């Protein structure tokens, strides 16, 4: 028996639904099987994806929490539900790139696979109708979304997340090529890691495999029609849970 009940739907995104609960300081997130890419131009239902992303995100949030990264995560409930603290999401997608891939190589003369040292931090304005445009420092300042101190904190948290996840995945023979995170302000004004961290939002390469397509363990399998998407996410989940304690259930 859980100690909360679901309230109204607050928000439906491409991969998750967010519900109010009967407790003002508790929000429930349902991970869906819907897969989208290229700003939802490409869509599919992938049975089992929601549960895998919920579990992987829970394990990674708990790992990050143990390393001192403040997150919205409170616990899981069943296979597809995560309980989180309510946050005001900052409409900025923070991307860290350890290895060049994806849009970086489409937009700039940088070879796919090139090491980014130090890792590149890119910010995008989170707005699907605008296609999540790239944010320069001046554009971010013009939007007035963050004070300089908040922006510094956001970048510090993103680099801290990379500092934990990159060696963690490396120890599981996966290269964390790049990832996107979202952050939000709690009721008390603390900046927390929010949203999810999963193969939908990361690029992960299996370092045991040399072939450039075969090694992909993330949403690029869906974007590039490589097949085996859920199987790849399952492999990520298996490796991550083999190295982590069972995620806590929210009661």
Query: What is the binding site for ligand ASP (CB under 6 A)?
Result: 14, 36-40, 219, 223
Q: What's the closest the beta carbon of residue 18 comes to ligand TMP, in angstroms?
A: 17
- Compute the Cα dihedral for 201, 194, 121, 63 and give only its sign: negative
DSSP label at residue 128: G
Q: Which stretch binds ligand TMP (CB under 6 A): 5-13, 64-72, 102-110, 154-162?
A: 102-110
Residue 9 CB neighbours (<10 A): 11
Question: For ligand TMP, which is the closer residue by CB, 7 or 91?
Answer: 91
Residue 179 binds which entry of ligand TMP, ligand ASP, none, CB below 5-8 Å type-dependent: ligand TMP
CB-nearest residue to ligand ASP: 36
Beta-bridged to residue 27, according to DSSP, are 20, 84
**Residue 182, interface with ligand TMP (CB under 6 A)?**
no
Residue 173 CB neighbours (<10 A): 12
Residue 171 binds which entry of ligand TMP, ligand ASP, none, CB below 5-8 Å type-dependent: none
Q: How many helices (H) and strands (E) does the chain have?
A: 6, 14
Question: For ligand ASP, which is the closer residue by CB, 18 or 244?
Answer: 18
**Residue 95, interface with ligand TMP (CB under 6 A)?**
yes
Torsion, CA 131, CA 132, CA 137, CA 142, rounded to 10: 70
List the one residue from 132, 183, 216, 229 that touches ligand TMP (CB under 6 A): 132
Tokens representing 248 are 């806590």
| Cα 63 to Cα 16: distance, rounded to the nearest angstrom | 22
Question: For ligand TMP, which is the closer residue by CB, 37 or 172?
Answer: 37
What are the angstrom distances between the C-alpha of 101 and each of 135, 189, 223, 224? 19, 34, 13, 13
Binding residues vs ligand TMP (CB under 6 A)? 95, 101-104, 132, 178-180, 201-203
């Amino acid at each position: 028996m859980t100690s909360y009940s679901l309230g109204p739907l607050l928000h439906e995104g491409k991969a998750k639904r967010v519900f109010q609960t009967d407790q003002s300081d508790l929000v429930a997130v349902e991970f869906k099987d819907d897969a989208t890419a290229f700003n939802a131009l490409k869509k599919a239902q992938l049975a089992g994806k929601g549960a895998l992303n919920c579990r992987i995100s829970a394990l990674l949030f708990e790992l990050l929490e143990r390393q001192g990264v403040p997150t919205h995560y409170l616990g899981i409930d069943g296979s597809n539900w995560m309980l989180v603290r309510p946050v005001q999401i900052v409409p900025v997608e923070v991307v860290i790139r350890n290895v060049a891939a994806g849009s970086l190589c489409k937009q700039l003369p940088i070879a796919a696979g090139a090491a980014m040292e130090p890792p590149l931090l890119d910010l995008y304005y989170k707005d699907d109708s605008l296609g999540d445009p790239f944010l320069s420092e001046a554009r971010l300042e013009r939007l007035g979304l963050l004070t300089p101190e908040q922006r510094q904190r956001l970048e510090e948290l993103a680099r801290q997340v990379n500092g934990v996840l990159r060696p963690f995945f490396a120890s599981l023979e996966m290269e964390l090529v790049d990832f996107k995170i979202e952050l939000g302000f709690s009721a008390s004004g603390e900046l927390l890691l929010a949203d999810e961290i999963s193969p939908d939002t990361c690029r992960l390469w299996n370092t045991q495999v040399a072939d450039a397509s075969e090694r992909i363990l993330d949403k690029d399998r869906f974007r590039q029609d490589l097949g085996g998407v859920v199987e790849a996410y399952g492999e990520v989940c298996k490796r991550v849970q083999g190295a982590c304690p069972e995620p806590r259930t929210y009661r």
